Amino acid sequence: DAGITQSPRHKVTETGTPVTLRCHQTENHRYMYWYRQDPGHGLRLIHYSYGVKDTDKGEVSDGYSVSRSKTEDFLLTLESATSSQTSVYFCAITPGSTDTQYFGPGTRLTVL
Amino acid sequence: ELKVEQNPLFLSMQEGKNYTIYCNYSTTSDRLYWYRQDPGKSLESLFVLLSNGAVKQEGRLMASLDTKARLSTLHITAAVHDLSATYFCAVDPDSNYQLIWGAGTKLIIKP
């Protein structure tokens, strides 16, 4: 399973509150990604990271920020959650030894 | 705008039948991915296709890539119920692992 965990796995929050999702990997991979999955849209890339303190925006980054202060942790923050950010969030890694992208178990976020 | 289109988006079929899912994309890409997702679960990698004419097979699933036509197919042979899932294709147009995804094909296989 590529050693990826996400926390929390489920969260319900209210509009306007800050939320932080955590992705943790155990194998020191450089490349990490945050996606959101919504019905009819497949997955869409939010932010990605190529190493510690090396992050950049993806396709749908508005309203999200990320941080990576350690190789193993990639944090996704919603500064002020909105109902449009209700989604399932997946973290992924790409090992340097392969082109395959592996996914964490996902976090289901509901913003009321 | 880069588009990745899958069709059909929904497919209901009988066990034992053959069928093909199509993935068209609108720009060049060196990599084409196929994933499987069961309801409420994460995504599982099926195939990574890296060159024109690439063909990979795993059990009853076979994927192929035609980069000139910007088309990949996922062929299911003699379908069984356990293959019921949603299948996604994704491309990597800039070869930097920032994947662009299709909307998914929900496959239901009836006994």
Put simply, the answer to whether A42 touches B4 (Cβ < 8 Å) is yes
Residues of A with CB under 8 A from a CB of B: 31, 33, 40-45, 48, 58-59, 90, 94, 98-106
d(CA B47, CA B89): 9
d(CA B30, CA B52): 9
Q: What percent of chain A has pLDDT over 70?
A: 98
Q: Which residue has the tokens 């340097």?
A: A96
Residue by residue, DSSP assigns chain A as -TTEEEE-SEEEE-TT--EEEEEEESS--SEEEEEEEETTTEEEEEEEEEETTEEEE-TT-TTEEEEEEETTEEEEEESS--GGG-EEEEEEEE-TT-S--EE---EEEEE-
**Mean per-residue pLDDT, A100-105:** 95
Smallest CA–CA distance from A40 into chain B, residue: B103
- For the segment A40-86, what is each residue's pLDDT rounded down to a tens digit? 788 999 999 999 999 999 999 999 999 999 999 999 999 999 999 99
Smallest CA–CA distance from B106 into chain A, residue: A40
d(CA A99, CA B81): 29
Put simply, the answer to whether A99 touches B50 (Cβ < 8 Å) is yes
**Mean per-residue pLDDT, B12-23:** 96
| Minimal C-alpha gap between B82 and chain A (Å) | 20
Contact B5, B102 (CB under 8 A): yes
Residue B27: pLDDT over 70: yes
Smallest CA–CA distance from A58 into chain B, residue: B98
Residue B30: pLDDT over 90: no
Put simply, the answer to whether B98 touches A90 (Cβ < 8 Å) is no
Q: Which residue has the tokens 């119920």?
A: B81
Q: How confident is the model at residue B94 (pLDDT cuts 50, 70, 90)?
A: confident
d(CA B30, CA B100): 12
Question: Chain-wide mean pLDDT for chain B?
Answer: 94
* Per-residue pLDDT, B2: 84
Put simply, the answer to whether A105 touches B99 (Cβ < 8 Å) is no
- For the segment B61-85, what is each residue's pLDDT rounded down to a tens digit? 999 999 999 999 999 999 999 999 9
Residue A1: pLDDT over 70: no
| Minimal C-alpha gap between A106 and chain B (Å) | 6
Residues of B with CB under 8 A from a CB of A: 4, 31, 33, 41-45, 48, 50, 88, 90, 97-104
**Mean per-residue pLDDT, B29-51:** 94
